[in-house]
């Protein structure tokens, strides 16, 4: 294998919302590249796609990524840059920068927006005959990136934070015989809220576009001895206050004596150290991508199932098509399992 590895000049970028596991990915790209091909060079793109447009980089060596694998966030930074999605001029500029910097490969970890940005740049690069290839890994706590083909890096870390917070809240809920409505992140995807509900033993998890039977939900509360936890998806149409008011009206009418409190745990879910699962999967994907790059592979999206998984990368065109690669609601069999465990 070593005889076939020519030096490459590459960059690594963390895009969209930060998530635990991004630093493990950065570390894997840097270490694998420099250990497998010592003459290669690696640069970090600062502040995500904005840094690529404005040519902001820093060289990365093996010492620069020491001890970062478990850290949350991203040492390179990531700034929301929605203008890139609609500006052909900015897309052209970013693609030209890759060519002028002489990058053979751009390694990306990010969410849906990053996949679409990568595909937009890929089309320009191929049209112009420029050298850079783009390799993308899924990074999002929402698990809404090509989830027909695995789960996103950061998802399991966010679930661990959720479990911790739900356990704290249940202590107080049980002490005071309260109902707690708890808002979860997840954007339009039901996954984070629903899976947090399962692992945290919630009595109910409201999905983004669900038509909730509040009378039935009140019955669930009435059957509980001391506490009730209801997790609410970020994209659900009603606010926590509106849900609280609806339930309180039903409680008064039906004589159910329960206090209701509302808590938003959203930004706590994003932070904190990466889970073991996310560190291992991010490390594996980074290593795999580097190995493929050193063999001269084409652009592609790498799916995240488990360490050691070797499925062929998806074409970026397919990965960027949400209708074909992504689903936002929970499979019916998983919903039935959750109801059976309630």
Residues designated catalytic: 142
- Report the C-alpha gap between 16 and 187 in whole angstroms: 13
Q: How many helices (H) and strands (E) does the chain have?
A: 14, 10
Q: Return the number of other C-beta atoms located less than 10 Å from residue 39's C-beta.
A: 10
Tell me the CB-side half-sphere exposure of residue 123, using CA atoms within 13 A.
Answer: 11
Q: What are the b/e assignments for 221-252, b being 16+ CB within 10 Å?
A: beeeeebbbbbbbbbbeeebeebbebbbebbe
- The token duo for 264 is 């938003």
**Polymer length in residues for the chain:** 342
- Alpha carbon dihedral 236, 242, 248, 253, in 10-degree steps, equals -90
| DSSP-derived secondary structure for 135-180 | EEEEB-TT--SSGGG---BTHHHHHHHHHHHHHHHHHHHHHHTEEE
Instruction: Name the helix (H) or strand (E) containing 80.
Output: none
**CA separation (Å) from 112 to 104, 117, 139, 261, 337?**
23, 9, 9, 33, 28
With CA atoms as reference, report the closest residue to 92 among 103, 102, 80, 84.
84
Instruction: Name the helix (H) or strand (E) containing 184.
Output: none
Give the strand pairing for 41-45 and 57-59: antiparallel
């Amino acid at each position: 294998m070593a005889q076939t590895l020519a030096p490459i000049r590459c960059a690594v970028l963390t895009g969209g919302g930060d998530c635990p596991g991004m630093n493990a990915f950065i570390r894997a790209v840097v270490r694998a590249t420099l250990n497998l091909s010592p003459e290669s060079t690696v640069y970090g793109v600062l502040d995500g796609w904005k840094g690529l447009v404005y040519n902001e980089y820093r060289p990365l060596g093996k010492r620069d990524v020491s001890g970062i694998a478990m850290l949350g966030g991203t040492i390179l930074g990531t700034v929301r840059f929605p203008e890139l999605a609609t500006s052909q001029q900015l897309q052209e500029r970013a693609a030209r920068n890759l060519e002028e910097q002489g990058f053979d490969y751009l390694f990306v970890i990010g969410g849906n927006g990053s996949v679409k940005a990568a595909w937009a740049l890929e089309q320009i690069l191929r049209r112009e005959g420029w050298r850079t290839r783009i390799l993308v890994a899924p990074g999002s706590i929402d698990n809404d990136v090509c989830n027909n083909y695995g789960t996103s890096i950061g998802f399991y870390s966010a679930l661990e934070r959720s479990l911790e917070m739900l356990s704290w809240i249940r202590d107080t809920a049980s002490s005071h015989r309260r109902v707690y409505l708890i808002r979860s992140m997840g954007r339009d995807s039901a996954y984070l809220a629903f899976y947090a509900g399962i692992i945290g033993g919630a009595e109910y998890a409201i999905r983004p576009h669900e038509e909730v039977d509040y009378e039935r939900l009140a019955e669930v509360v009435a059957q509980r001895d001391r506490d009730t936890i209801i997790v609410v998806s970020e994209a659900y149409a009603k606010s926590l206050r509106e849900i609280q008011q609806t339930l309180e009206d039903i409680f008064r009418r039906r004589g159910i004596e329960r206090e209701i409190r509302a808590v938003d745990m959203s930004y706590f879910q994003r932070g904190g150290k990466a889970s073991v699962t996310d560190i291992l999967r991010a490390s594996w994907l980074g290593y795999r991508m580097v190995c493929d790059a050193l063999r001269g592979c084409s652009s592609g999206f790498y799916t995240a199932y488990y360490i050691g998984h070797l499925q062929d990368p998806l074409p970026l065109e397919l990965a960027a098509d949400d209708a074909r690669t992504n689903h936002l609601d929970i499979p019916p069999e998983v919903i039935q399992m959750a109801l059976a465990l309630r």
